Amino acid sequence: MPELPEVETTRRAIERFCLGRAVAGVRASGARMRVGSRRTSAAPLTGAALAAVRRRAKFLLLDFTGGSTLLVHLGMTGTLRCAAPGDAPRTHDHLTLRFEDGGALVFNDPRRFGLYELWPTPRVEASPHLGGLGPEPLSAAFTGAALHAASRGRRIALKPLLMDPSVVVGVGNIYASEACHRARLDPRLAAARLSRDGADRLARETRAVLRAAIRAGGTTLRDFTAPDGARGYFRIKLSVYDRAGLACGRCGGTIRRIVQAQRASFYCPGCQRR
């Protein structure tokens, strides 16, 4: 499920519920995670306390006292949950950081497209995973001008461009479709033909939809630690994603599903222009 808003929601929940807590024990499934990830042991975290929870793109950086950082990516199906004392383990739990009171921070990922790696804190930024990333969409560096510049000379279509992490990070398949719709831009538009005005709108609407989703995610922080382990992040009301055949809320046109770069895209032919 995780795109940037879900990762940010997770970051805030961990910060709220786990910050300052000391790790009493570590348990790993030993399963191989994402191709290209290093298999590392989190055992050295035993005795360390969670000192900070940072996010870069869709990565979470959990800084511990003692100088280690746990780098986590949720992939397509990963979750980090704050388990209460006595909560039963679940299938596909891959890393469990048990706290002294019996509670735990647990990384679970059925498809194993996610990863976790332990790094010395000063060197985690130099991880191959974090190199070559573009600006954060909610930072001042992500502007219409920057997006316009990044689109020059590109033969790729607009929507896959928005999902290119060297252009801007954190925009996944759902919010890429939503941002194009909000900006009234056809996802098939050749990036090189994006106007400066279109780039301004697209940058603005990308920020807006991500912010709205983070706000919505924030309302589910309570669920994050519910005793029944309620999961499933709040889903903001989507305008086009997964709405093929339904009416566009803006113009009444019929929303279409197409495939771009092997990924589903949704758009309204009535109000999104090339």
Q: Characterise 132 by phi-psi region: left (phi > 0), alpha (psi -120 to 50), beta (else).
A: left
Cβ neighbours around 215 below 10 Å, total:
13
Which 174-203 positions form the footprint of DNA (CB under 7 A)? 174, 191
Which 235-254 positions form the footprint of DNA (CB under 7 A)? 235
Q: How far apart are CA 21 and CA 82, in angstroms?
A: 12
CB of 66 to DNA, least distance (A): 27
Q: Which is nearer to DNA, 155 or 237 (CB)?
A: 155
Tell whether residue 223 is a contact of DNA (CB under 7 A): no
Q: What angle do CA 50, 53, 55 make, to 5 degrees?
A: 155
Tell whether residue 73 is a contact of DNA (CB under 7 A): yes
Side chain identity at 219, as an amino acid letter?
T
Residues 8-47: x where in contact with DNA by CB under 7 A, - otherwise, as a string: ------------------------x-xxx-----------
CB of 125 to DNA, least distance (A): 15
Q: How far apart are CA 247 and CA 261, in angstroms?
A: 25
DSSP annotation of 77: T
Distance of CA 162 to the CA centre of its chain: 14
Residues forming a β-bridge with 263: 260
* Options 3, 8, 117, 205; binder of DNA; rule CB under 7 A: 3
CB of 261 to DNA, least distance (A): 5
| Residue 76 phi, psi (nearest 5) | -90, -35
Tell whether residue 222 is a contact of DNA (CB under 7 A): no
Q: How many Å is the maximal CA-CA distance in the chain?
A: 59
Size of the residue set binding DNA (CB under 7 A)? 38
Q: Which is nearer to DNA, 16 or 111 (CB)?
A: 111
Tell whether residue 157 is a contact of DNA (CB under 7 A): yes
DSSP annotation of 241: T
Footprint of DNA (CB under 7 A): 1-3, 6, 32, 34-36, 57-58, 73, 75-77, 91-92, 110-113, 129, 154-157, 160, 163, 165, 172-174, 191, 233, 235, 261-264
Q: Which residues are catalytic?
A: 2-3, 58, 263
